[in-house]
Amino acid sequence: MRVKIVLSVLLINIAVFISLADAGSLSKVFQKVNPAVVMVLTTERGHSDLHAGQEVTFEKGGLGSGIVVSQDGLVMTAAHVVQVADAVVVKFLDGSMVGAKVVGSAPQADVALLQLNHLPDNLVVAELGDSDSVNVGDEIFVIGAPYGVDHTLTVGYMSGRRHPEVVCNSLLPIEFLQTDAAINKGNSGGPMFTMDGKVIGIVSRILSFSGGSEGLGFAASINTATELLFKQGSVWTGLEAYLVTGTLAKALNVPQDAGLLIQRVADDSPGQRLGLRPGNIPAEIAGKQLLLGGDIVLEVRGVTVSAALEHTCEIRKKVAGLRNDNLEMKILREGKVIDLAIIKGGESIESD
């Protein structure tokens, strides 16, 4: 009996020692990787009709997180944080702030790439891991800025791998990593790490009925992010659009079955250089908050906008191959069909 008691006490002491060792190890890993984590602050134009029906334009701020991934100042974040941002500023652990511009975006995977306007002193770069090597049940941690409380660490487990249905066969299959680590507004774009400090995901969104963390968080796998942003070189358009079809398309006098109603156009984006005009009249249609009055895209590089899946995939393919080619669109503006184009060198052309 005495031997059993001694063995039990010994096992308990070993377990406590391992637990304390793990805690100390995580603290050291956190201190090592934390300087590579950043807060992403954005501004964009907003519209309101709250004052006697008169439109009011204002600036609104956005908040997210990010991770430095290269010595030349590339930062990964979530696409929804920066897709239509007019200005982006990255805030570092020491409080310094550096402007940045979006250089790549893959909204289908909710990942984007920023380029810092200049390199701060002592830039710390995170090490990218292999998300395929992580298993369900492995412990992970997340660092971000929930509700603006920057450099907050939360710990959890990888709860699952999710593969959303890919509607276009030519597109890379997208993978999201599910976790029960606490994730809230402001965490979007922040890194998910293995316990040895390697980035395996970029935080995307949470599934929540309360608005707060309920243990259902999702991060785009780092393998998906690197494939889309580095190998395929996903292009940032700076556009947010809404597909209008059916009776809504008819009500807006769209001369075909469908069109893309431009909602927002980011400053200094390909969409702005093309000359696209965003909506500026807030309206609620069938429970959906929309901005009316903007351009409606009818055709992109010779492909007609349609509700048909094959047309959507063809447009995505053509936009993804923009890099050094011309960009042409046919749009509906104030009842007139207009051709817009950007030719090589960045010059824009508008014609009826």
User: What amino acid positions are annotated as catalytic residues?
Assistant: 80, 110, 188
Q: Which amino acid type is present at position 118?
A: H
The set of residues, in sequence order, having a beta carbon less than 8 Å from that of 88 and lying 6+ positions away, is 40, 41, 42, 82, 99, 100, 101, 102, 114
C-alpha 85/C-alpha 239 separation (Å) is 10
| Pairing, β 127-128 against β 198-206 | parallel
**Exposure b/e, 177-203, CB count within 10 A at least 16 = b:** bbbbbbbbbbbbbbbbbbeebbbbbbb
| Pairing, β 176-179 against β 127-128 | unpaired
C-alpha 282/C-alpha 46 separation (Å) is 10
Helices and strands per DSSP (H, E), number in the chain:
6, 22
Long-range contacts, stretch 116-124, CB < 8 angstroms, 24+ apart: 116/73, 116/74, 116/75, 116/90, 118/73, 119/72, 119/73, 120/92, 120/96, 122/35, 123/68, 123/71, 123/73, 124/35, 124/36, 124/68
